[in-house]
Structure 1
């Protein structure tokens, strides 16, 4: 039921309201028991580290008043004997939308929405920090019961909608109390996500990098607003500032996004609590370095149905590994001292929580760590330490009563007390007969294993190695057990009946044999010491798949440990210097500490590893000036200028294209934004350091770049859109308008006024105007190429590179005069209208004019054979082999302004080298070793060995999955997944 308007008025007046200060609902008076209730003879888990055997505790008015080995029992007390039972603090879930109605999706319109739909709020509808969960909360008894059965007493709930989502509330799942009494904190936390609000159709952002840029700008604007600089009231920014001291929870759905969220937080001094993905184990070093507390969903991948070998071929190794490794995630987090809590988010709390928790324990998570993650860690995280999650004096009386160790499969959860109110889940008066028994009937020794709920037990009976059919019922402490004959050819039964005493360690009664004779039987429960430890271990090992080791990245061809820098002497190679020295025969190259230190003949190794390069070719690593490899997003298409976004935010170091690029001799790429808008996002220049993290791939010494675009894509010729511009002349106006704004912005900034508002987009454009950031522009036809050079000259800066530029041959003289370079394709033409005038002699003609020309890929597949693309320039235009080779080495290095570091073989440069088994321009050439800064990231011998190891690992995982399916485990079907082929015009959408 919704809270009444009177309560909402109290919230809007910004009172700090505690549970007891709420007005009750006008639906009758709930009388709370004011007597003491004392529990005795229980095994009490005070906290994860403290246990009291046969202890006592008392509660009154919803709080624990005393706890200990022995306490004084007040006169007005109800005493409950918990002999043989255990008591734990009720669990806490920090991530839920409990009691919150699903937000209504905005109705569709006749095209994209670019402006905000709300007045008095921030310019972007997806920023909604003013949302408060308490105004939308309605207690859901049916959903609460699922939490009760799983052992939960408190949840932190919120409205899961938008990028900045507003405040959550901490709610006790008390069965029947006044609404306000349940609310432990009406403003417990503030939530963030990478997902847009469903309540708005506003287009921006369309990408993760756009979302990150928007959050950054919102933080900057909130700080500016807090200083009183705004002329108009902004309710969203006010709310964000009011919420900044709350716990900040960031929702993510994959490992890379977890690290991206932490990156944004670090930039603004905000330590997020991060809703994780369950894959934190794959990059524990970075996860630990984040210093975040993680809320981890207790969800594990299902095994795949791999019976069909044809379909199984579509299953990737990383998908198979994830099934095998993910259950060990919590264990690994615990061992690495990463603080975490567990959430039921994305699973059914009633059906899946306990079984998945026990699976995590089975895979090595200690029971103490598991209990802490459900009690003390979430309590501390949400600022409620000592109040919930413990059984101590003054804490809320939130606890569960169990038949034994909660973390054992057969344990029954009897009652869940929340704020001193009892929720009965199972009758405690029913004897719990679960356990393993030695059953003796007619001189025969059986093994009896009883599982399930006390009122609904399940039995498994074995005689020796033979499984006996059985059926069990248990009611009013009377057990009836029916056993089939071990001889399956006979329809004979043994009937057992017994009245089971408490605690039920010995069950004795009457057995009626198949021939009608009656006799006594006895079943004695095995104690832990009586169990055959070896059999138990063997059974566990048999049921739990062997967890395979991680690699970096944790996919095929990953390293079991990162390769180290080596000192290497390449002997007797044909060295393609890409310098004035040209190609040197029978030459040695010495690499030390990641640099080229000597080039010459008969060099002394000086302790370096010697590689015989006789008959082989050594070149600088290939540099791809225009690439879309290793990215989670390509375009931010929400605006016609997105200079605020950065490709560095969306680097994906697990992209197999990195390894394939290395296998083709590529060592450096410029990761470019796409061509959805005239002013695109900032570039990321990367070294293809396979196995390293996203941040470690960034070429730190490279200067900053940005992507511009011209032509069909930016005016949306090939997809529906009503965003400006719609014409090529409109594209020109975009550049003029934004650079005019940037000039005005810089002038305002230079005044140094306190009311100056920092704008990330404008800051980037000012960098361009001041020559601090270089422009690479997607282009095709001569008119647009001319236009952009004129615009740049109008604002007194130069375009650095025209990429694609398939009509560059028409304006090569003007390009030379402007001082712009070209990065083109070798022989792409006629694949769309604006390419109709492309010719394969384009690169050669521009090269002859004196323009710095590079051959690029713009394509994940072509990236790995850029050596062959360069070779085409020899055929088309008669270019020399050395000049052709420079188009993929030193020329792109010059375009990226890193030619002092890479792109050629020269003393003092970084050792980014490739050893080829053949002439590098030959279609038969293969890299044998690809080195970056003295580290070998690709080795053809290792690659061959890895192929065999991958086959073996796949077969091992397939066998594990087949075994899992045969044991009755639920499986999921294999579906064919094809990696998206990425080009400039790929459009993503953040949901």
Structure 2
């Protein structure tokens, strides 16, 4: 019975302390503490820019009542005189998973679901979950809250880190004394997004970044269509998405390139994403600024590599060395460029690392005021909570820090972190900070005593005539005890003790090694001053950082090349026009265009290049490539016409520079061959150093990848649940999608014919990116480049498309093209093939090296492509093989990699030959361009030199010197005792048609 009464008493006690105010109170007399607490004589940071000396902060019931220099203190106030200590608003982390368990990955094995979602009544894709609420999964963690409070945080915005649309976050005050009724500030604080699929679903789509982007686009189109009342069914996910659209939208990008992709989606749909970055934004700071987005910036800086072993040092790329060296500059550079950002603990192994890395960011240029804004007012503003959080203005939550001094001084002590008016003691405010350097004299000997380490548990370092002497100290209950051994005898110690007083000096009693009692005094040294007369606060350090290049890796450029006026003199010019090959000819380039081709040309102010004995050609065009792509296949469905390779152009792929060294200036980046209908192409110029958008050819025609053969029916990987599984099925996929797209197009055309009044009364068709793209093919607005091998399938596709009244543009690979060359010519389709690459799978066994020549002789427009990052660097030699195999003329063979691919890409009016008015995409060769000895001395795109052979040799020397410099800097770090990491060699994945 006594146990039952005790339990009941504890239960009612818990209700009285934590329950909501409207809960019944009928178990006795209840009183509410409405006293004020006044903190006086403080340096008060009301906001980062509103600072009051000798200020007063008045709080009551968890809120700020008043803050200022002349605050009237009510009679029922507890007054705390801070005696010059500092008060700051507590920090806010708006990207957190605090209190939300990490979703568990669905058990492995089994088949992936291709189309069917696991949830009825919700959006068709399981990775879209705007209906999820972090509040439903939230459980307050006292220990994790304590760790964050010690680091200065008072509020976190926590979410479920899972899925593409992740649902809403919950805003939580780190108030361990209260319960959720008090500390939950907002159950739906923000909506969270990413490009990553949910780990809890086995639904396969999307399998790529471009698929995730296409899914988001389609979702936003569907949401608008649904909102306008066009749907006859209910979708709980879309309804949640629409309900959340007024909330802040936080997008987890995690990398600068992903940030650009997120910003692209946001701009298309008029959204304002708050982008959680990856800490490498500094590498493209101008482009980051141009996104006009706000950012959440992690302080997860990489640590130095252990490069003392030369072999291990060789594993570390220059890019990774630079990231270690430059990453701490990221917050400072973002601030200097006017980019709005908040700071986060995300990515750190423990919360205590936050201050360490924050101090580092300050040492590398981050302004203190900007740092404080990034932790207080900015995150509050981004969440729309400026009236409640981030400042100490009247009405705000009483979330504040009490410190011994400047919070961004590494020697400053955080005493207390108040959250919603509840005090959290981090360090006892009554313990005096005795750290510093002292002059200590004992028995006629002068020592240097350094007291350092933690404020509450410092350590001693004793030096005599520059020689360190082993010592230990304790600091407890206001008393200091130091003992040390002044001789080599480890059994004899000097023992010192002193009571800590208000004085900066220490004085007390002691005992020498001989037992004699002494009195001693340690005089604290004054703060050292730098050359500018400013006191050293412990943060003033100078760090050398190497310059950022574009891209920020080996062979990156410090300045982007500019268009020049250049006159090539006395070259052998391969025009690819009726003039053929001109001897001792001149070519004038100006404003990115070829201006004149002829003899004895001159131009005032032009840079003259003597090309005597050298060959000048138009740039090589690779019709089929997969370099410079972040992903190649969206393999989740049998059609991925909704995705585009333009979304995943990777301007930092080193193969771009290597291709420039082989004379390549343009290429088509194709989707892979994982499905019959692939994604849309990206037509780019290899402008090394530029961003992805600058590389994409302006107003380029639309292309899409189709595929036949082994890959699309999944012969080469064990997938048995996606249609098609046979070549017969592939044909039916084409027929089905073309028919559906035709009906879709007719539906839209009929709707658009209606009058405005009639349209207002009629439900609009659903906009479908996939069907819209295929309709473009039917309307001859987009062109097919089809992966192909076997003649039966080549014939099949030509027959299918002819039924729908259009032609295939290009058969790529086309290794059995020689068998159907006459039919290809009659159909009007081009062939982009390999010179002599075969026997890598069953369906290429009938390939012959005469293929290109036979198709060419039959009247087919033929190109030689690479589909390979190595082969693309020597396409000039691949073209030369057609001279040997089939007797193709040198000029026609050269057109296989220049003019002909330009024709296949519908770009021959702009490139592919040397003709006045065309783009100045030119290559100056040291020798005959089809020769294995030919070196591309200069590769020019739009009149700017993007590759120079001599410059490349100098860059190689610069890379060696820079790596050596960075290696020595990392060794120096290790020698100082800084933690290092073991090098791991990173290998870039080579992407091909079948890469998943």
Please give the range of the TM-score, normalised by the shorter of the 2 chains. Answer: over 0.9
Residues 56-114 of structure 1, C-alpha deviations (whole Å, 9 max, x = no match): 11110101111122322211111112124221110000001111122233344531211
5 Å-filtered alignment, 1:4-23, equals none
What's the counterpart of residue 783 of structure 1? 792
Distance in 2 (alpha carbons) for counterparts of 1:458 and 1:531: 26
- 1:795 CA displacement: 0.8
- 1:230 CA displacement: 1.2
Distance in 1 (alpha carbons) for counterparts of 2:71 and 2:41: 12
- 1:337 CA displacement: 0.8
User: Paired residue for 2:658, among 637, 649, 660?
Assistant: 660
CA change 1:804–1:23 in 2 (3 A) is farther
Residues 295-318 of structure 1, C-alpha deviations (whole Å, 9 max, x = no match): 111100011110111122121100
Distance in 2 (alpha carbons) for counterparts of 1:900 and 1:960: 53
- 1:895 CA displacement: 0.4
What's the counterpart of residue 3 of structure 2? none
What's the counterpart of residue 672 of structure 1? 670
What's the counterpart of residue 423 of structure 1? 424
User: Paired residue for 2:705, among 681, 704, 707?
Assistant: 707
Distance in 2 (alpha carbons) for counterparts of 1:878 and 1:444: 96
Distance in 2 (alpha carbons) for counterparts of 1:75 and 1:176: 26
- 1:701 CA displacement: 3.0
- 1:444 CA displacement: 4.5
SS where residue 508 of structure 2 aligns?
strand
- 1:532 CA displacement: 7.6
Residues 399-427 of structure 1, C-alpha deviations (whole Å, 9 max, x = no match): 11122222122222111100001111222
CA change 1:597–1:791 in 2 (3 A) is same
What's the counterpart of residue 938 of structure 1? 947
- 1:294 CA displacement: 0.7
State whether residues 586 and 597 of structure 2, in contact with CA within 8 Å, keep that contact through their aligned partners in structure 1: yes
What's the counterpart of residue 832 of structure 1? 841
State whether residues 25 and 178 of structure 1, in contact with CA within 8 Å, keep that contact through their aligned partners in structure 2: no
What's the counterpart of residue 685 of structure 1? 683
Q: Does 2:532 align with 1:523?
A: no
Residues 668-688 of structure 1, C-alpha deviations (whole Å, 9 max, x = no match): 010000000000000000000
Distance in 2 (alpha carbons) for counterparts of 1:533 and 1:890: 65
Q: Does 2:37 align with 1:37?
A: yes
Residues 912-943 of structure 1, C-alpha deviations (whole Å, 9 max, x = no match): 00001111111111100000000000001110
What's the counterpart of residue 60 of structure 2? 60
What's the counterpart of residue 222 of structure 1? 223
What's the counterpart of residue 741 of structure 1? 740
Distance in 2 (alpha carbons) for counterparts of 1:373 and 1:557: 35
- Worse overlay, 392-401 or 669-678: 392-401
TM-score (structure 2 length as normaliser):
0.94
User: Paired residue for 2:765, among 742, 756, 763?
Assistant: 756
Distance in 1 (alpha carbons) for counterparts of 2:371 and 2:797: 61
User: Paired residue for 1:809, among 818, 823, 840?
Assistant: 818
CA change 1:899–1:979 in 2 (3 A) is same
Distance in 2 (alpha carbons) for counterparts of 1:441 and 1:699: 79
What's the counterpart of residue 568 of structure 2? 570
Residues 132-191 of structure 1, C-alpha deviations (whole Å, 9 max, x = no match): 111221111111111111110000011111101111111111121131211111111100
What's the counterpart of residue 353 of structure 2? 352
State whether residues 527 and 535 of structure 2, in contact with CA within 8 Å, keep that contact through their aligned partners in structure 1: no
Distance in 1 (alpha carbons) for counterparts of 2:506 and 2:69: 31
5 Å-filtered alignment, 1:424-823, equals 424-485=425-486, 493-502=493-502, 505-528=504-527, 545-722=543-720, 723-752=722-751, 753-823=762-832
What's the counterpart of residue 383 of structure 1? 384
State whether residues 585 and 598 of structure 2, in contact with CA within 8 Å, keep that contact through their aligned partners in structure 1: yes
Distance in 1 (alpha carbons) for counterparts of 2:962 and 2:538: 23
- The alignment covers a number of residue pairs equal to 966
- 1:530 CA displacement: 5.3
Q: Does 2:367 align with 1:396?
A: no
Distance in 1 (alpha carbons) for counterparts of 2:27 and 2:637: 55
State whether residues 24 and 178 of structure 1, in contact with CA within 8 Å, keep that contact through their aligned partners in structure 2: no
SS where residue 169 of structure 2 aligns?
strand
Distance in 1 (alpha carbons) for counterparts of 2:598 and 2:623: 30
State whether residues 43 and 51 of structure 2, in contact with CA within 8 Å, keep that contact through their aligned partners in structure 1: yes
Residues 588-609 of structure 1, C-alpha deviations (whole Å, 9 max, x = no match): 1110111111111111132100
- 1:664 CA displacement: 0.4
What's the counterpart of residue 145 of structure 2? 144
SS where residue 188 of structure 1 aligns?
coil
State whether residues 529 and 536 of structure 2, in contact with CA within 8 Å, keep that contact through their aligned partners in structure 1: no
SS where residue 47 of structure 1 aligns?
coil
State whether residues 664 and 873 of structure 2, in contact with CA within 8 Å, keep that contact through their aligned partners in structure 1: yes
5 Å-filtered alignment, 1:853-892, equals 853-892=862-901
SS where residue 395 of structure 1 aligns?
coil
CA change 1:508–1:381 in 2 (3 A) is same
SS where residue 395 of structure 2 aligns?
coil
SS where residue 219 of structure 2 aligns?
helix
- Worse overlay, 932-941 or 361-370: 361-370
- 1:755 CA displacement: 2.5
Distance in 1 (alpha carbons) for counterparts of 2:31 and 2:150: 25
What's the counterpart of residue 252 of structure 1? 253
Distance in 2 (alpha carbons) for counterparts of 1:33 and 1:347: 39
SS where residue 273 of structure 1 aligns?
strand
- 1:434 CA displacement: 2.2
What's the counterpart of residue 10 of structure 2? none
Distance in 2 (alpha carbons) for counterparts of 1:57 and 1:525: 33
Which structure 2 segments of 5+ residues have no match? 1-17, 752-761
State whether residues 573 and 581 of structure 2, in contact with CA within 8 Å, keep that contact through their aligned partners in structure 1: yes
CA change 1:250–1:488 in 2 (3 A) is farther
SS where residue 796 of structure 1 aligns?
coil
SS where residue 341 of structure 1 aligns?
strand
Distance in 2 (alpha carbons) for counterparts of 1:215 and 1:877: 50
Residues 604-663 of structure 1, C-alpha deviations (whole Å, 9 max, x = no match): 132100011111110000000000010100000000000000000001100000000000
Distance in 2 (alpha carbons) for counterparts of 1:773 and 1:536: 68
**What's the RMSD between the two structures over aligned residues?**
2.2
CA change 1:90–1:26 in 2 (3 A) is farther
- 1:478 CA displacement: 0.4
SS where residue 986 of structure 1 aligns?
coil
What's the counterpart of residue 167 of structure 1? 168
What's the counterpart of residue 279 of structure 2? 278
Distance in 1 (alpha carbons) for counterparts of 2:577 and 2:537: 65
- Worse overlay, 693-702 or 836-845: 693-702
- 1:523 CA displacement: 2.9
CA change 1:614–1:492 in 2 (3 A) is farther
CA change 1:439–1:337 in 2 (3 A) is farther
What's the counterpart of residue 7 of structure 2? none
Which structure 1 segments of 5+ residues have no match? 1-18
Residues 947-986 of structure 1, C-alpha deviations (whole Å, 9 max, x = no match): 1100000000000000011111111111122221211000
CA change 1:28–1:43 in 2 (3 A) is farther
State whether residues 410 and 539 of structure 2, in contact with CA within 8 Å, keep that contact through their aligned partners in structure 1: no
Q: Does 2:110 align with 1:110?
A: yes
Residues 494-525 of structure 1, C-alpha deviations (whole Å, 9 max, x = no match): 332111113x5222223434444444333333
CA change 1:202–1:317 in 2 (3 A) is same
What's the counterpart of residue 14 of structure 2? none
CA change 1:484–1:895 in 2 (3 A) is farther
Q: Does 2:312 align with 1:311?
A: yes
Distance in 2 (alpha carbons) for counterparts of 1:387 and 1:153: 12
SS where residue 428 of structure 2 aligns?
coil
SS where residue 617 of structure 2 aligns?
strand
CA change 1:881–1:491 in 2 (3 A) is farther
TM-score (structure 1 length as normaliser):
0.95
What's the counterpart of residue 95 of structure 2? 95
5 Å-filtered alignment, 1:885-924, equals 885-924=894-933
SS where residue 931 of structure 1 aligns?
strand
- 1:534 CA displacement: 9.1
CA change 1:841–1:973 in 2 (3 A) is same
